[in-house]
Chains A and B, each alone.
Chain A
Amino acid sequence: MRPSFPSSFLLSLLSLLCFSPYTAIANASSPADSISNSRSDYHEQLILRPLPLSTLLASFNFRSNTSLSAFEAHNFRFFPRSLGQILEHAGTRELHLRFSLGRWDAESWGARPWNGAREGGTGVEMWAWLEADTDEEADRKWLTLTNALSGLFCASLNFIDSTRTTRPVMSFQPEGNHIDANATNMHLLYGVLPHEVVCTENLTPFLKLLPCKGKAGIASLLDGHKLFDSSWQTMAIDIRPVCPEDGECVLQIEQSIDMVLDIDRSKRPRDNPIPRPPPAHEMKCNTSKPYHAHDTCFPTDSAANQDWSLSQIFGKPIKGTCPLTDPTVSPVCIQVPGSRVVFASEGAIEKKNPDQTSRCFDFPAENEFEIFLPAPEAQDGSVVIEHVVKPETPLLYAERSFTGHGQERGGVQTILRNPSPNQEVEFIYMESLPWFMRIYLHTISARVDGQPGKADSLIQEVYYRPAVDRARGTQLEVRMTVPPASTVFLTYDFEKSILRYTEYPPDANRGFDVAAAVITILNKDKSGGNGRNSRFAAYNLRTTTLLCNLPTPDFSMPYNVIIFTSTAIALAFGGMFNILVRRFVAANEGPESGLKKGVNKLKAKVAGILKKGKKESAPAVAAEVEEKKTE
Chain B
Amino acid sequence: MFARRPIDHGAAGDTLSSETQMATMTSSPMATPLSSATAAQTSTRKEPPPEKLSDIRRRIWVIVSFWLIVLLLGLPVWWKTTTIHRANLPLKEMLDWADGKACRPVFPLRISIQANSLPEQEAQNLLRLTQHALDDLNDFSGHHLRLQLSSPAAPQKRNDEPDTALTIRLLPGDAVTATLDPYEPVLDITYPPNAAPSATSASSSLATYVAGQLRSTFAEEQAIISYLLSSNSIPTDYRPQSLTPEAAESLAKRTTRSLKYAPTYHLTFSLFTSGPLPSNWDIEAAIQDYLKPVLDLLSPIHNFTIDTQVQLYASPGVQNQVLSKDDLSSFINAAEWPLSPSIGGAPTVNFIVFVGNQTIALSSENARDSAEGGLTTSQSWLIPQWGTVYLLSLPHDTAHVSVDALKQPLLTFTSHLLSLTGTPSSGSLPLRLSTLSRIRSADLLLRASSTLGSLARLALALKSISIPSSVADGVSKTIVHLRQACETLGEAEGLEHARIAEAEAERAFFEKSMVGQLYFPDEHKVAVYLPLLGPVAVPLVMGMLNELKAWRKRKREAAEKGKEKKKD
Residues of A in contact with B (beta carbons under 8 Å apart): 20-21, 24-25, 28-29, 73-77, 80-82, 84-86, 89, 148, 152, 208, 211-213, 215-216, 322-324, 365, 559, 562-563, 565-567, 569-571, 573-574, 577-578, 580-593, 596-597, 600-601, 603-604, 607-608, 622, 625-626, 629-631
Contact, CB under 8 Å: B343 / A89: yes
Shortest distance between the CB of B526 and any CB in chain A (Å): 12
Contact residue among A20, A216, A574, A590 (Cβ-Cβ distance under 8 Å from B1) = A590
A323 to B275 Cα, complex, angstroms: 10
Q: How many residues of B contact A (CB 8 A)?
A: 74
Least CB distance from A352 to B in Å reads 29
Tell me, rounded to whole Å, the shortest Cβ–Cβ distance linking B538 to chain A. 8
A148 to B340, CA, bound (A): 12
Shortest B311–chain A CB gap in Å is 8
> Which of B51, B283, B336, B343 makes the CB contact (< 8 A) with A75?
B283
Contact at B17–A582, with CB atoms within 8 Å? no
B51 A583 Cβ-Cβ under 8 A: yes
A562–B530 CA distance with the chains assembled, in angstroms = 10
Complex CA distance for A534 and B455, rounded to whole angstroms:
62
B280: interface (CB < 8 Å):
yes
Closest to B46 in A: A589
Enumerate chain A residues within 8 angstroms of B59, measured Cβ to Cβ: 580-581, 583
In the assembled complex, B34 has its CB within 8 A of some CB on chain A: yes
Residue of B at shortest CB range from A576? Answer: B539
Given A74-B307, A570-B536, check contact A324 B30 (CB 8 Å): no
Name the one of A25, A82, A596 contacting B400, with C-beta atoms under 8 angstroms.
A25
Most buried by B among A216, A583, A596: A583
With a CB–CB cut-off of 8 A, which chain A residues contact B305? Answer: 74
Q: In the bound complex, do residue B338 and residue A208 qualify as a contact, i.e. CB atoms below 8 Å apart?
A: yes
For residue B406, give the distance in angstroms from its CB to the closest CB of chain A. 13
- Are B13 and A630 in contact, with the CB atoms below 8 A? yes
Residue of A whose beta carbon sits closest to that of B400? A28
Q: Which residues of chain A are within 8 angstroms of B280 by Cβ–Cβ distance?
A: 25, 28-29, 77
CA distance in complex: A84, B305 (Å): 14
In the complex, the chain A residue whose C-beta lies closest to that of B540 is A577
CB distance from A571 to the nearest CB of B (A): 8
| Chain A residue at minimum C-beta to C-beta distance from B335 | A204
The CA of A592 and the CA of B4, in the complex, are separated in Å by: 11
A586 with B48, Cβ < 8 A, contacts A577-B66, A600-B41 known: yes
Q: Is the Cβ of B342 less than 8 Å from the Cβ of A559?
A: no
Chain B residue with the shortest CB-CB distance to A77 = B310
B532 within 8 A of A: yes
Is the CB–CB distance between A591 and B30 below 8 Å? yes
**Contact between chains at B307 and A75 (CB < 8 Å):** yes
In the complex, A626→B17 CA distance in Å?
11
Q: Please name 24 pairs of A and B residues whose Cβ atoms are closer than 8 Å in the assembled complex, sorted by A.
A: A20-B399, A77-B280, A77-B310, A81-B338, A82-B340, A85-B342, A212-B276, A213-B336, A324-B279, A562-B528, A567-B535, A573-B536, A574-B538, A580-B59, A581-B59, A582-B2, A584-B2, A588-B15, A588-B44, A588-B45, A591-B30, A593-B5, A603-B37, A604-B37
Q: Cβ of A76 and Cβ of B309 under 8 Å apart? A: yes
Q: For residues 1 through 44 of chain B, which have their beta carbon under 8 Å from a beta carbon of chain A?
A: 1-6, 9, 12-13, 15-17, 19, 30-31, 34-38, 40-42, 44
* Given A81-B338, A85-B342, A583 contacting B1 (CB threshold 8 A): yes
Does residue B109 face the partner (Cβ distance < 8 Å to A)? Answer: no
Q: A73-B284, A581-B62 are in contact. Are A25 and B531 (CB under 8 A)?
A: no
Question: Contacts A581-B63, A586-B46, A626-B37 given: A81-B536 contact, CB under 8 Å?
Answer: no
Enumerate chain B interface residues (CB-CB to A < 8 A): 1-6, 9, 12-13, 15-17, 19, 30-31, 34-38, 40-42, 44-49, 51, 55, 59, 62-63, 66, 268, 276-277, 279-280, 282-284, 305-310, 312-314, 336, 338, 340, 342-344, 397, 399-400, 402, 527-528, 531-532, 534-536, 538-540, 543, 547
A593 partner residues in chain B, CB cutoff 8 A: 5
Which listed residue (A365, A626, A629) contacts B13, Cβ 8 A? A629
Q: B402's closest neighbor in chain A, by CB?
A: A28
Contact B13 A566 (CB under 8 A): no
C-alpha spacing A80/B268, complex, angstroms: 13
| A312 CB, min distance to chain B CBs, angstroms | 26
Residue of chain B at shortest CB distance from A78: B310
- In the bound assembly, the distance between CA atoms of A442 and B154 in angstroms comes to 89
Chain B residues positioned under 8 Å from A570 (CB to CB)? 531-532, 534-536
Question: Which of the residues A215, A584, A626 comes within 8 Å of B313, measured between beta carbons?
Answer: A215
Using CB atoms, name the residue of chain B closest to A208: B338
Contact of A589 (CB < 8 Å), options: B37, B38, B40, B48: B48
Q: How long is the Cα–Cα vector from A76 to B63 in the complex, in angstroms? A: 81
Q: Is the CB of B532 within 8 A of A86?
A: no
CB distance from B478 to the nearest CB of A (A): 27
A87 to B270, CA, bound (A): 19
Question: Which label, helix, strand, loop or mixed, suits the secondary structure of the A interface?
Answer: helix
Nearest CB of A to B50, in Å? 11
Taking CB atoms, residues of chain A closer than 8 Å to B1 are 583, 585, 590-591
**CA distance in complex: A290, B293 (Å):** 90
Q: Which residues of B contact A604 (CB under 8 A)?
A: 34-35, 37-38
Whether A592 lies near B31 (C-beta < 8 A) is yes
Q: Which residues of A contact B15 (CB under 8 A)?
A: 587-588
B13 partner residues in chain A, CB cutoff 8 A: 629-631
Residues of B within 8 A of A84 (CB): 307
Q: 6 more A-B contacts (CB under 8 A) besides A565-B532, A571-B535, A573-B536?
A: A74-B308, A77-B309, A577-B540, A583-B3, A592-B42, A630-B13
Is there contact, CB below 8 Å, between B276 and A322?
yes
Contacts of B5 in A (CB 8 A): 587, 590, 593
B284, A212: Cβ atoms closer than 8 Å: no
6 closest A-B pairs (Cβ-Cβ)?
A: A590-B3, A570-B535, A74-B307, A566-B531, A215-B313, A566-B532
- Cβ–Cβ contact B535 & A81, under 8 A: no
- Chain A residue numbers with a CB within 8 Å of B538 are 574
> Chain A residue with minimal CB distance to B59?
A581
Alpha-carbon distance A620/B494, docked complex (angstroms) = 105
Closest chain-A Cβ to B82's Cβ sits at a distance in Å of: 15
- Chain A nearest CB from B107 CB (Å) reads 38
Set of chain A residues within 8 Å of B397, measured between Cβ atoms: 20
Which residues on A sit within 8 Å (CB–CB) of B309? 76-77, 80-81
Contacts of B17 in A (CB 8 A): 630
- Complex Cα distance, B13 from A600, in Å, reads 13
Which of chain A's residues have a CB closer than 8 A to the CB of B268? 81
- Which residue on B lies nearest to A321, using beta carbons? B276
Bound CA–CA A590/B528 (angstroms): 37
Contact A85 B38 (CB under 8 A): no
Contacts of A216 in B (CB 8 A): 276, 313
B536 and A148 form a contact (CB under 8 A) = no
CA distance A596 to B527 in the complex (A): 34
B34 touches A601 (CB 8 A): yes
Q: Looking at the complex, which one of B55, B312, B535 makes contact with A212 (CB distance below 8 Å)?
A: B312
Task: Give the distance in Å from the alpha carbon of A7 to the alpha carbon of B403 in the complex.
Answer: 41
Instruction: Determine whether the beta carbon of A148 is less than 8 Å from that of B343.
Output: yes
Contact in complex: B63, A323 (CB < 8 Å): no
Contact for A85 among B307, B336, B399, B539, CB less than 8 A: B307
A86–B283 Cα gap in the complex (Å)? 22
Whether A563 pairs with B2 at a CB distance below 8 angstroms is no
Q: List chain B residues, Cβ under 8 A from A77.
A: 279-280, 309-310
Shortest CB distance A384–B (Å):
45
Minimum Cβ distance to chain A for residue B18 (Å): 10
- Residues on B with beta carbons closer than 8 Å to the beta carbon of A582: 2, 4
Asked if A591 and B312 sit within 8 Å, CB to CB, the answer is no
B243 to chain A, nearest CB (A): 43
A contact residues around B313 at 8 Å (CB): 212-213, 215-216
- Nearest chain B CB to A172's CB is how many angstroms away? 26
Partner of A566 from the list B37, B66, B535, B543 (CB cut-off 8 Å) is B535
Cα separation A81 to B30 with both chains bound (whole Å): 92
Q: Which of A211, A573, A581, A588 contacts B16 (CB 8 A)?
A: A588
Which residue from chain B places its CB closest to the CB of A577 in the assembled complex? Answer: B539
Find chain B residues with CB under 8 A from A86 CB.
Answer: 343
Contacts of B308 in A (CB 8 A): 74-76
